[in-house]
Amino acid sequence: MNIIQDIAYVNGEVLKKTTENVKENPQVLFLGFAYVIVGIGVSFLMNYLLSGPIGIFGGIIMAILQSALVSSYLFVLGNVIVYNRFRWKDARYGLTHYLWKVYGIFFIFYISNMVLNLLAGIIGTIIYTIYWVLPLIILLLLNPLPEAIYIKDRDPLDTIIYTFGFMKENWLNWLIPNIAFMFLIYVFTSGIFSSEILGSGSGGIVWFIMLIASGVVISVGMLYRGHLFALLNGSTRRKRQFMRKF
């Protein structure tokens, strides 16, 4: 099986599974939108409650709350991917399911950022070049990190290391659909903040429709990514070539 045939086969299988999820669990289309709204609400509430002396603990508390929301979202998403089952009550169960795993990954990134800040005082201005380049490298090499969190049963550091290995083996199959996914998100999100929409008489209605549409695109994209990761994670090109015969 050549590379093009393999890409076509992989995305064909992933598309079928994603379509099946959406048909049997249409509520999942609004999952991303719901979590964004909850996340914004929690941020506003905690900023208000953590003002004053207690604010010194605000960073830790906010990190834990954000980790809980991410954990909940990935737990619900994982159940749809693995079991083709969507239940709103899973959002509550998921608050703690991956909590410390997600928090651990955030903590590793936090420590890495502290090290970079420390090096800035030693190395000098060259560190600012790293600040510009490093997020792009992380976005590329750790792009499947959310999927690795809920599909692979590993500790935070091993999850990051595994993600690097996954990208090394599957970078082409992973990046092609994800570039298309990011382009769609860009199109919709840029439309949300378009001056033509915000300045038109019916701008509020159009803006809300595009906001909902953006959430749907993100939800479908995350389903697609989950199935793509699961398929690539459990197979090689040779194995997929063998499976095509049956």
Range of the domain at 130: 3-243
CA atoms within 13 A of residue 36's CA, in its CB half-sphere: 12
Residues near 62 by Cβ (< 8 Å), separated by ≥ 6?
43, 46, 50
Q: Is the pLDDT of residue 193 over 70?
A: no
For CA atoms 207, 33, 31, 8, give the dihedral sign.
positive
Q: pLDDT for 37-52, tens place per residue? A: 888 888 888 777 766 6
HSE on the CB side for 149, CA within 13 Å? 28
Pair 177, 11: CB distance under 8 Å:
yes
pLDDT band at 209 (very low <50, low <70, confident <90, very high): confident
Counted residue by residue, the chain has a size of 246
pTM of the predicted structure, to 2 decimals: 0.88
Share of the chain above pLDDT 90, in %: 52
User: Given the structure tokens 């929690």, which residue do they identify?
Assistant: 42
Q: Please give the tally of structural domains in the chain.
A: 1
Q: Tens digits of per-residue pLDDT, 91-136?
A: 999 999 999 999 999 999 999 888 877 776 676 666 667 767 777 8
